[in-house]
Amino acid sequence: MAIIELKKGIHYVGAIDWDRRLFDELIPLPDGTSYNSYLIKGSERTALIDTVDPTKQDELMSNLEKLGIEDIDYVVAHHAEQDHSGSIPGVLERYPNAKVVTGPKCKGMLMDLLQIPEDRFITVEDGETLSLGDRTLEFIYAPWVHWPETILTYLKEDKILFTCDFLGSHLATSELFVTDEAKVYQAAKRYYAEIMMPFRNKIIKHLEKIEQMEVEIIATSHGPIYNNPKFILDAYKEWVSPDVKNEVIVAFVSMHDSTRKMVEHLVEELTERGVVVKVYNLSKTDIGELAMDLVDAATIVVASPTVLTGAHPLAMYAVYLTNALRPKLRFATIIGSYGWGGRMVDQIIGMLTNLKVELIDPVVIKGYPREEDFKALSKMADEIFEKHKGINVMK
């Protein structure tokens, strides 16, 4: 990305990854991503805030070169994951006087992951400050967004909060600031769902802390940055709130249409009762879309045939991810079909250990659904409808 001046003496020097489509070999990136890095010049010292993914190191170095940067005093490492830290060794080599500024936990991880020598670090405590002359960096510990070592930096005089992954989005765009809030809302929600949701309770506390601060710009290390911090803080408050929506996710896989017929009937019955249903065919779906709907939904229905005595592997994958993401689901149930037996229900329930869900009686049938099976699914729709009436439901 081109070098952009955010404010006098503060430049964006990061890189956009327009065509990256997978992160951690797991998370789909339909809109690419960016690795945001910022150069802050103070009257006496210069700091680089995060680096970029090692695949984009040349862009970072070229940006620093174009800006005529001969010396860097501090490289602030908010987070040890390599998409931000991976170019630190290259920066340290080019700028031999530079020190990596981070918390003790991140220091240990950077020494392990990138083999950065110990004498290149300055460690800071929560709340500690570092002067650049006429500008001051204040460091704020923010563990578990999404690794245990994460810190944030508040540039006091400019009221800019640098948050690394936290509050970010995987969205490649040449616009530095958010211009299309609806688009960024979706990308940031996907990011929250895929990466931050398991740490909802920690995030609530971090948001409370940020709300006490005077922040004019939130500069993340992925996606466009926020000159209206309220937009992203309000979105996060909604996502982390204990309330859920009157929504059911049906995550299904069907081999010979028995399970599909059951799904179609249940979806119709729920829709007639005014319950919003989001249906995902697990053989086709982008798992990130499913994760996004898990942010708000009250109920999940896992629908699967029986394969080799258990649930279909695609259903197991979705259940595993759902359990790992720890959404605020209130209810769960299972529907599906078997040919001659199996232990699908016990297997799925056994994988939902992280969720505080009430189990609604499953409907698992032999073969193709008959009249009484459809009746059982209608009864399930009644039960879900009644359960949803008794909970806090977001509008």
Where does this chain bind ligand FEO (CB under 6 A)?
79, 81, 83-84, 146, 165, 222
Measured from the CB atom, is 107 or 146 closer to ligand FEO?
146
Tell me how far, at minimum, the Cβ of 52 lies from ligand FEO, in Å.
10
Measured from the CB atom, is 165 or 269 closer to ligand FEO?
165
Return all residues near 379 (Cβ < 8 A) that are at least 6 apart. Answer: none
User: Where do we find the tokens 């508040």?
Assistant: 154
Measured from the CB atom, is 27 or 176 closer to ligand FEO?
27
**Number of neighbouring beta carbons within 10 Å of residue 141:** 18
Burial label, 9 (beta-carbon count in 10 A; 0-12, 13-18, 19+): middle
Q: Helix, strand or coil for residue 102? A: strand
Tell me how far, at minimum, the Cβ of 33 lies from ligand FEO, in Å.
8
Measured from the CB atom, is 16 or 315 closer to ligand FEO?
16
Measured from the CB atom, is 79 or 135 closer to ligand FEO?
79
Cα→Cα distances 259→34, 191, 256, 350, Å: 41, 31, 8, 21
Q: In the structure encoding, which two tokens stand for residue 176, read together?
A: 């530095």
Tell me how far, at minimum, the Cβ of 53 lies from ligand FEO, in Å.
9
Nearest CA among 23, 329, 324, 357 for reference residue 198: 324
Tell me how far, at minimum, the Cβ of 180 lies from ligand FEO, in Å.
22
Between CA 97 and CA 120 the distance in angstroms is 9
Tell me how far, at minimum, the Cβ of 221 lies from ligand FEO, in Å.
6
| CA angle 287–289–291, rounded 5-degree value | 70
Find out whether 235 and 223 touch, Cβ atoms under 8 Å: no
Nearest CA among 31, 13, 25 for reference residue 223: 31
Between CA 302 and CA 300 the distance in angstroms is 6
Strands 276-281 and 217-220: unpaired
Residue 166 has φ and ψ, to the nearest 5°, of -60, 130
Q: Helix, strand or coil for residue 11? A: strand
Tell me how far, at minimum, the Cβ of 18 lies from ligand FEO, in Å.
17
Tell me how far, at minimum, the Cβ of 346 lies from ligand FEO, in Å.
35
Measured from the CB atom, is 167 or 311 closer to ligand FEO?
167
Between CA 301 and CA 369 the distance in angstroms is 17
Q: Helix, strand or coil for residue 250? A: strand
Which residue's Cβ lies closest to ligand FEO?
A: 81
Tell me how far, at minimum, the Cβ of 207 lies from ligand FEO, in Å.
18
Measured from the CB atom, is 56 or 84 closer to ligand FEO?
84
Measured from the CB atom, is 146 or 265 closer to ligand FEO?
146
Measured from the CB atom, is 190 or 222 closer to ligand FEO?
222
Q: 146: cis peptide before it, omega within 30°? A: yes
Tell me how far, at minimum, the Cβ of 149 lies from ligand FEO, in Å.
10
Q: In the structure encoding, which two tokens stand for residue 279, read together?
A: 């249906």
